[in-house]
Amino acid sequence: MNLLRNLLATLTLTLVGVAQASELWIDVRRPEEFRAESIPGHINIPHTEIHTGIWQIIENKDTVINVYCQRGVRSEMAKKRLEQMGFTHVINRGGIEDVKILQDSN
């Protein structure tokens, strides 16, 4: 139930855009970490819940999914889990600071 509440809070304003997105950014940190610091438009699904939470967001296993956490360890676990589930384009972007630098350079 917590996952559903977190997803609804995170996705309230972006649900339509996410449903049509060809690329997703998922922060796999704990909800309290996400609340303390997050990147606008990115979704929070904790790495421990990625196997169930991803289906609330997308159905297409060919969607590009960018995952990140604090330093890259949990995002690597999430990446491996998603790949085991059949997702074909999962990228571990490392830590949140790495993602900020990447987005600032674009």
Catalytic residues: 69
- Rounded-to-10 torsion of CA 61, 76, 80, 93: 30
Among residues 45, 85, 90, which one has the least CA distance to residue 66?
Answer: 90
Among residues 52, 61, 51, 57, which one has the least CA distance to residue 81?
Answer: 51
